[in-house]
Structure 1
């Protein structure tokens, strides 16, 4: 199998983990001065300057939610000084009340600083986690396009960016003596444990695809891989996981063999009626074979020369709009018929962004398989 080294076509369309956008200093100063001035004017109008001044103690808490530690410290110092100045200008009736107001301001300012420190540290950990996950994905998943004797495969993988929700979507295309074998999977759950399970089953597929003569034997190897990983996970105090997967074998003929282990079925983009490929009832996900007495069944469908097939994870089919509507993938397939295969993934990603208003909540993995047309055999000179 050959892969592209084109920097504009990486397999992982990922961005670094991101911190929440910090407040700018002009915004912080506007809040401090603006709210202080508003309370001062209100106090003058109501003749209650001293009674309104303690409301400023909540300013550092507001800044701590989005600002830096330094901005929170400035807000805390500003608030404390303004309250002390207000009390000196218009003293309260008793010294105990004076001390109580100052003590409350200092304590709340300290808690705000602690909140800011904890938030910044947590966001830094999330950034490091996402950077490590993205680095692992870049090293283990091959870049597009993936090329075999039978297929040219374009696509993308874009992990979700929110918090620490790194996912376990993986894919692979392997050229084997038995044809081109294609694998796309989604591990239950999120985080580094999910990535660990995904890489375990991915490596198992790479080995089994090259050595096992039948697709059933490949999937059995994947099942055993998930069971072994779950066994190690239990000993390490982690949760067992299952894996939804779709495994294909594309030979030189027009027939494609497929085993669907609880995954999103493939979609045909060509023809008058593009849409979902019928594979019958899906088998149970990998890791759950003991729950189903029926063995996994190999299904077959036609993929003519030059036809295009779309594989994806549920991050595509279950993407929701702000109103809660699912992404209408099957409706969009009609408009994708005229899109070049190398642009299908990019087009769908843009449509997903529009549908969700840029708020994707799950990993997005897409494979666009184009079966190579059979070239006419050239006759030797003099024949």
Structure 2
């Protein structure tokens, strides 16, 4: 289970495997024989053989530079033989010369295009490898096991080619228990990732240092305010971050502060309950709050599972505009192991959306209380 989720979070980045040398030779010879056979059966063998000039172009999209050069050389050889060495050929010399020139020009262009394609693929591979390495340091691989809980989950950016999105999560073991963060940065794209970095960095720096959740949330809010001040200097938009911070220790009740985020849900036996939490302002907007940050408590018995999500799940819509029924889906899957629950919910939500597009990142965490605490 651990290996499966680590692969999802930091999946290996590999280049597309080109065909083997043998496969290229077989394909080129087969196409040549087919074209020659069709040419022999038709009244225009020379022009049918001229279709081979497009072989290097096809090779440039799939093969290596060396393989494309081979296809180019083979095609040029076959066309030259067909144009000048075929006995009894009455095609005009000008047509023959033009066909050979066309073959040489298209073949050379194909080799160049193949070289450019491979260069771009290698650059993309390097960028994705860097992004994967960054993600391993930014988003903690799941699952995470502590003395208090087992945390597992699913993280899916809205763009499949982007490894890090605006949804964030983290787990920190502190002297006061295990602290779990889940959040959602306003907006999408790389600008949102900057605010995500700021919150995660502040959480890791202060979660094991601040004895109270209120002090921890104040530090997270300050990190977003500071990030926004830098963003304003560079002309970027200011952002806020909805977040839910939970502290789980040996007691059967846990502490939580909700900063405008999706409410958690507790699964125990065959029941699903939603704790009533005070909804505060998102991180970065504390100055606008009418009241100070408050800590809520709710029951989280041994053996129960706490589900934390972002609005990428709750706001999933079907093609007809209906929202995904999270609570109903949870009730049907309450007996699943906590490690399987996030993926089951995500897959069900995608099936529910059907042809509808995914418009937001999705993060789903299951926090399983140790049954022996």
Query: Take 1:45 and 1:11, find their aligned partners in 2: how far apart are those partners?
Result: 55
Say whether the 8 Å CA contact 2:280–2:289 is kept in structure 1: no
Give secondary structure in 2 for the equivalent of 1:16: coil
TM-score, normalisation: structure 1 = 0.72
* 1:327-378 residue CA offsets vs partner (Å, 9 max, x unmatched): 8765542343223334445666787899999xx9987644221234575xxx
Corresponding position of 2:258: 259
Match of 1:37 in 2: 33
Shift of the 152–290 alpha-carbon distance from structure 1 to 2, 3 Å rule, reads closer
Residue matched to 1:310: 307
TM-score when normalising by structure 2:
0.74
Instruction: Specify the alignment match of 1:183 in structure 2.
Output: 181
Counterpart contact for 1:174–1:181, Cα < 8 Å: yes
Map 1:1-383 to 2 at 5 A: 10=6, 13-88=9-84, 89=86, 90=89, 92-95=91-94, 97-140=95-138, 141=140, 144-148=143-147, 151-156=148-153, 164-168=161-165, 169-176=167-174, 180-187=178-185, 188-190=187-189, 197-212=195-210, 215=213, 217-232=215-230, 243-250=241-248, 252-254=251-253, 256-261=255-260, 264-274=262-272, 286=283, 289=285, 300=296, 302-306=298-302, 307-313=304-310, 330-345=327-342, 365-372=363-370
Aligned CA RMSD, in angstroms, stands at: 4.5
Counterparts of 1:352 and 1:304 in 2: how far apart (Å)?
26
Q: Which runs of 5+ in 1 are unaligned?
A: 1-5, 376-383
Task: Tell me, yes or no, if the aligned pair for 1:12 and 1:137 is still in contact at 8 Å.
Answer: no
Shift of 1:83: 1.8
CA spacing shift, 1:61–1:230, aligned 2, 3 Å: farther
- Tell me, yes or no, if the aligned pair for 2:13 and 2:125 is still in contact at 8 Å: yes
Distance in 2 (CA, whole Å) between partners of 1:198 and 1:247 is 15
| Distance change (3 Å), C-alpha of 1:353 and 1:125 | farther
> Equivalents in 2 of 1:31, 1:318: separation in Å?
49
Secondary structure of the corresponding residue to residue 162 of structure 2: coil
**Which deviates further from its counterpart, 344-353 or 61-70?**
344-353
Counting matched residue pairs gives: 362
CA distance in 1, matches of 2:292, 2:39: 76
Shift of 1:40: 2.0
Deviation at 1:204, TM superposition (A): 0.7
Q: Measure the CA separation in 1 of the matches of 2:176 and 2:93.
A: 90
Query: What is the alpha-carbon distance in structure 1 between the residues aligned to residue 34 and residue 275 of structure 2?
Result: 64
Cα distance in structure 2, aligned partners of 1:260 and 1:334: 26
| Paired residue secondary structure (2:14) | coil
C-alpha distance 99-321 of structure 1, shift in aligned 2 (>3 A):
farther
Q: Structure 2: any 5+ residue segments left out of the alignment?
A: none
Contact kept? 1:14, 1:157, Cα under 8 Å: no
- Residues 343 and 220 of structure 1: CA distance in aligned 2, closer, same or farther (over 3 Å): same
CA positional deviation for 1:308: 0.5
